[in-house]
Amino acid sequence: MRGTLDESATADLIVVPLFETIGDLRNAAPIMREYYALPGIAAMMGRSGNEQDVMLGYSDSNKDGGFFTSNWELYRAEIELVELFDALRRKNGLILRLFHGRGGTVGRGGGPSYDAILAQPPGTVNGQIRLTEQGEIIASKYSHPEIGRRNLETLVAATLEATLLHPTQSAPATFLATAEALSEASMKAYRHIVYETDGFTDYFFAATPIREIAGLNIGSRPASRKATRAIEDLRAIPWGFSWGQCRIALPGWCGFGSAVQDLLATDANKLALLQQMYREWPFFRTLLSNLDMVLAKTDLAIAARYVELVEDRELGASIFKAIQEEWARTQDALHLITGDAQRLATNPSLARSIEHRFPYLDPLNHLQVELLRRFRLCREDHPGMERIQRGIHLSINGIAAGLRNTG
């Protein structure tokens, strides 16, 4: 780069880096520090508006390390970027704007936008924030002018509140250290199930409609980055979407229960600290609120029907048992911390909505299982193949519409 930028160089199109995987997020601040140490870059940015967007992705970090670790690494990356750009602002006047690449599912950064903005680390929302709205969220939030206006007002209100009313001090060191310990244990438990369990990939491709979703014309890119069935190569949208369809929603909770269990096994007194974190730390409270919503939308009795699609019965039963056990640990952990035995106890309107929707939704799951079974047994030239395939696609659409937060 030395010598390529003269004193009059400007950039009409500013490069926006994206940090998405766990490794990317951990290296976000060092990479940006090295970038602005290049000769001429800071001066060029000063002549080009002096504002730098940095995009943070939620999807691949979740697929890498699970729900809690993804959110924690994003939180840490934001703090480190703010510290870096505070120094650059004092030196060069450079302003940071964080760009959140959120999706519809909780596993991809979804959930109530108002709460998500208020849960950002201190100093990261300085009068502005940038975020994406994707999938069915666009239709549900912005298809009608009045509803769209209401949602935009909510975003503006949250941005103003986070900027003007929230305390600027960081969370207590004990909170941060506990979150770090939870993240480490959560990622270990998540990766043990998803990446280190023999046959998990076979289970996933059999017990979810991932193969049929991959054939739908609903995305701009193929379901996998490479022509393999490796979880590492699978794109995050079909990964999360498939787990939602079979009513497990694994990317939205897996690992957290084991992390809390491990923490309390070493020191039972840590429960009081976790309860304090829930009461006083917006980041942790929002995380658990989203976890509560995801668990409320799971149904392992229905999920058990999808296990019937796994040809290796022993494999299917073994992996589903591991998922059930982690789900139970997560339920127990949430109960211990929040004190609420029932899901959505603090959100009765959503609880009522789910109660009214699910009697119509559950039969679609049972229908989908039967259609998947028939479709996978049929030859390609079977005369009823097209009708079965269309039935599967309709069931996918219906379940997604009923669950929401799926894309």
- 43-47, 70-74, 144-148, 212-216, range with greatest mean pLDDT: 70-74
What is the model's pLDDT at position 354?
A: 93
What is the model's pLDDT at position 170?
A: 85
Confidence of residue 1 (pLDDT cuts 50, 70, 90): very low
Q: What is the largest CA-CA distance in the chain?
A: 71
The 10s digit of each residue's pLDDT in 112-164 is: 888 888 888 988 898 888 988 876 677 778 888 999 999 999 999 989 998 88
The 10s digit of each residue's pLDDT in 348-372 is: 999 999 999 999 999 999 999 999 9
User: What is the pLDDT averaged over residues 74-90?
Assistant: 95
What percentage of the chain reaches a pLDDT higher than 90? 65
Domain ranges of the chain: 18-164, 173-403
List the structure tokens of 221: 């890119």
Q: Which candidate in 63, 91, 188, 270 is catalytic?
A: 63
User: What is the pLDDT averaged over residues 86-110?
Assistant: 83
* Known catalytic membership, residue 141: no
Give the separation between CA 378 and CA 374, rounded to whole angstroms.
Answer: 6
Task: Please check whether residue 89 is in contact with residue 134, taking contact to mean a CB–CB distance below 8 angstroms.
Answer: no
Question: Edge-to-edge strand order for the sheet containing 51-57?
Answer: 18-19, 51-57, 95-101, 130-131
What percentage of the chain reaches a pLDDT higher than 70? 91
List the structure tokens of 351: 């609880």
What number of other Cβ atoms are within 10 A of residue 384's Cβ?
A: 11
The 10s digit of each residue's pLDDT in 282-317 is: 999 999 999 999 999 999 999 999 999 999 999 999
Residue 168 has pLDDT above 80, yes or no: no
What values do phi and psi take at 171, rounded to 5?
Answer: -65, 150
Average per-residue pLDDT in the chain?
A: 90
